[in-house]
């Protein structure tokens, strides 16, 4: 019948015509893939009965029925043991994927005494020079974000207001909230006018949680800018220094810090989306040169600082374009160039001193600004500028003579430029005029009777 667990070289008397079970062909489902026992090839041979009879017939060692029974029984026993051994090896491999050589390795010697404890492996750590730098594990962009926040967040304050509105029968109290920036150690705080306007009480909370009552120092309704002041220790005040908004570029990274929904000193990031935007102002005039950003701004951010990557103030967050009142990725900030021109006057005088050119009203046309009305005795009239002329006309209607007046616009001067710079809108004209102090001179380019002339005008002092 066959011999089991013997190398093939020890079976020369049998022909290898019978089917055999090769252990290397048993599939394995372990992680190591298919089991291969080629270095330890073991075969189980099953010899048919006729081959045993043939061996008895021609071999002197096998004779008699007794000898044949022994051979048959031995072959059957060897075949059964071989098949059982192969199945046991296959089941053991499927239960635990081990290396082939481990199946035939001698058993490990027994170890007396308690089992050895597992030695904990040390966790990977940063190099010593990297561990010394607390920002070593952050990217360069993250380092900038962290540095800007750590340098500026203590200069951002939370402003809460109380407003009492009078009604017919009783007063209705209400509360508001916004943000502000510390601009000096004297306690001056920069914010939007709409944050504190008409407030009976203004409370300012610093980074350390201390709250102080603030007083209004000055306001500029035209630019929605206000300055308030608190009496706080100088060591608790961390001013945010002014930058330069005239050098901003679209795509430049910006950082907004404020108190949206009462969440103090929240940082959001974004870029400059556009420059020189115009927004309707509180006084009816457009706010010029606004910075458009995509950093998240929500209710409570108004009055907070807009900061560049060097931690300098480049604007004051003021408004968002939204139909729901929540952030939509379109925010606007007042440029620091406007703030730097307005704030010193608010601290010194409580109001902005603006120049007056003496032109009360203009018509905006495609050709330029047509003077519609002059202030009597004002700088423009003194300089010889002309407005519309009133023409009196008489005509007879039956027995009566009727007098009428007609405004002749063709007699008015058309302003097309200031100091050599062409203008197209009234806001452009006012922006240039207000960039000069009272008492200075400007040169207006006008068209009169189809001829261009340059007229010098000395600016006066505007009165609110």
Closest CA to 188 of 216, 162, 211: 216
Closest CA to 444 of 429, 428, 434, 460: 429
Is 456 contained in some domain? yes
Residues 414, 385: Cα–Cα separation, whole Å: 10
Active site residues per annotation = 194, 224, 302
Is 145 contained in some domain? no
Is 441 contained in some domain? yes
Same domain (yes/no): 32, 83: yes
Domain boundary among 314, 349, 384: 349
Q: How many CA atoms lie within 13 A of 229 on its CB side?
A: 16
What's phi and psi for 312, nearest 5 deg?
-110, 145
Same domain (yes/no): 316, 263: yes
Task: Report pLDDT for 327.
Answer: 63
Closest CA to 21 of 73, 71, 79: 79
Same domain (yes/no): 268, 338: yes
CB 224 within 8 A of CB 281: yes
Same domain (yes/no): 359, 326: no
**What distance separates the 2 farthest-apart alpha carbons in the chain?**
170
CB 196 within 8 A of CB 178: yes
Task: Report pLDDT for 250.
Answer: 92
CATH number for the domain spanning 454: value is 2.30.42.10
Q: Which residues in 312-375 belong to E strands, given as ranges?
A: 313-320, 331-335, 355-356, 359-364, 369-374
CB 44 within 8 A of CB 20: yes
Is 428 contained in some domain? yes
Task: Provide the terminal-to-terminal Cα distance of the chain, rounded to the nearest Å.
Answer: 123
User: How many beta carbons lie within 10 A of that of residue 323, not counting itself?
Assistant: 6
Is 264 contained in some domain? yes
Helix, strand, or coil here: 129? Answer: helix
Same domain (yes/no): 270, 211: no
Same domain (yes/no): 377, 283: no
Is 285 contained in some domain? yes
Task: Report pLDDT for 289.
Answer: 83
Same domain (yes/no): 342, 376: no
Task: Report pLDDT for 40.
Answer: 36
Is 323 contained in some domain? yes
Same domain (yes/no): 94, 12: yes
Domain of residue 372 covers 355-461
Same domain (yes/no): 189, 260: no
Region for 148 from its dihedrals, namely left if φ exceeds 0, alpha if ψ lies in -120 to 50, beta otherwise? alpha
Same domain (yes/no): 203, 260: no
Task: Report pLDDT for 306.
Answer: 93
Characterize 104-116 residue by residue with b for buried, 16 or more Cβ atoms within 10 angstroms of its Cβ, and e for exposed. Answer: eeeeeeeeeeeee
CATH number for the domain spanning 324: value is 2.40.10.10
Is 140 contained in some domain? no
**Got the DSSP string for 121-140?**
PPPP---HHHHTSTTTTS-H
Same domain (yes/no): 228, 297: no
Cβ within 8 Å of residue 398, ≥6 positions away = none
Residues 142, 149: Cα–Cα separation, whole Å: 11
For residue 187, the cross-strand partners are none
Q: Structural domain tally of the chain?
A: 4
Tens digit of pLDDT at every position of the chain (464 positions): 444 333 334 444 444 444 443 444 434 344 444 433 333 333 444 445 455 445 444 444 444 555 565 655 666 766 666 666 666 666 655 554 444 444 444 555 555 556 566 566 666 655 655 556 777 788 888 888 898 998 998 999 999 988 877 766 666 777 888 899 999 999 999 999 999 888 889 999 998 889 999 999 999 988 899 999 999 999 999 999 999 888 889 999 999 998 877 677 788 999 999 988 888 777 667 787 889 998 888 878 889 999 999 999 999 998 887 766 666 678 899 999 889 889 998 999 898 888 989 998 888 888 899 998 888 889 999 999 998 887 777 777 777 777 777 777 888 999 999 998 898 888 788 888 888 888 999 999 999 988 999 999 999 987 65
Task: Report pLDDT for 277.
Answer: 85
Written as six digits, the tokens of 175 are 């509360």
Domain boundary among 349, 366, 388: 349
Domain boundary among 236, 267, 300: 236
Task: Report pLDDT for 27.
Answer: 41
Same domain (yes/no): 295, 202: no
Task: Report pLDDT for 60.
Answer: 47
């Amino acid at each position: 019948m066959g011999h089991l667990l013997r190398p093939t070289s020890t079976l020369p008397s049998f022909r290898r015509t019978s089917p055999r079970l090769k252990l290397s062909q048993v599939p394995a489902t372990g992680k190591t893939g298919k089991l291969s026992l080629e270095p330890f090839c073991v075969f189980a041979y099953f010899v048919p009965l006729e081959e045993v009879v043939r061996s008895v017939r021609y071999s002197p060692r096998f004779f008699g029925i007794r000898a044949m029974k022994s051979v048959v029984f031995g072959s059957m026993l060897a075949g059964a043991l071989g098949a059982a051994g192969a199945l046991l090896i296959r089941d053991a491999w499927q239960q635990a994927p081990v290396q082939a050589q481990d199946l035939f390795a001698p058993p490990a010697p027994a170890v007396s005494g308690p089992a050895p404890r597992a030695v904990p492996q040390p966790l990977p750590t940063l190099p010593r020079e990297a561990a010394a730098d607390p920002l070593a594990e952050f990217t360069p962009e993250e380092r900038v974000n962290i540095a800007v926040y750590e340098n500026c967040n203590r200069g951002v304050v939370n402003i809460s207001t109380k407003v009492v509105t009078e009604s017919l029968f009783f007063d209705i109290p209400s509360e508001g909230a916004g943000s502000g920036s510390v601009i000096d150690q004297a306690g001056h705080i920069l914010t939007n006018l709409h944050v504190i306007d008409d407030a009976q009480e203004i409370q300012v909370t610093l980074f350390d949680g201390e709250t102080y009552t603030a007083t209004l120092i000055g306001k500029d309704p035209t630019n929605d800018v206000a300055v308030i002041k608190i009496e706080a220790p100088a060591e608790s005040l961390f001013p945010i220094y002014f930058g330069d908004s005239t050098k901003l570029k679209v795509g430049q990274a910006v950082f907004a810090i404020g108190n949206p929904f009462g969440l103090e000193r929240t940082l959001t990031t974004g870029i400059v989306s556009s420059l020189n935007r115009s927004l309707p102002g509180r006084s009816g005039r457009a706010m010029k040169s606004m910075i458009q950003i995509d950093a998240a701004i929500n209710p409570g951010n108004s009055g907070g600082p807009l900061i560049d990557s060097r931690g300098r103030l480049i604007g004051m967050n003021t408004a968002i374009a939204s139909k729901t009142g929540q952030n939509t990725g379109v925010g606007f900030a007042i440029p620091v160039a406007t703030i730097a021109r307005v704030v010193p006057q608010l601290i010194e005088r409580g109001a902005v001193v603006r120049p007056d050119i003496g032109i009360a009203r203009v018509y905006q046309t495609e050709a330029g600004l047509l003077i519609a009305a002059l202030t009597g005795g004002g700088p423009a009239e003194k300089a010889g500028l002309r407005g519309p002329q009133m023409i009196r006309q008489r005509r007879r209607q039956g027995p009566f003579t009727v007098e009428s007046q007609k405004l002749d616009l063709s007699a008015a001067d058309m302003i097309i430029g200031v100091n050599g710079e062409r203008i197209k809108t009234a806001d452009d004209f006012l922006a240039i005029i207000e960039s000069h102090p009272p008492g200075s001179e400007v040169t207006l380019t006008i068209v009169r009777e189809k001829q261009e002339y340059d007229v010098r005008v000395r600016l006066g002092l505007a009165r609110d």
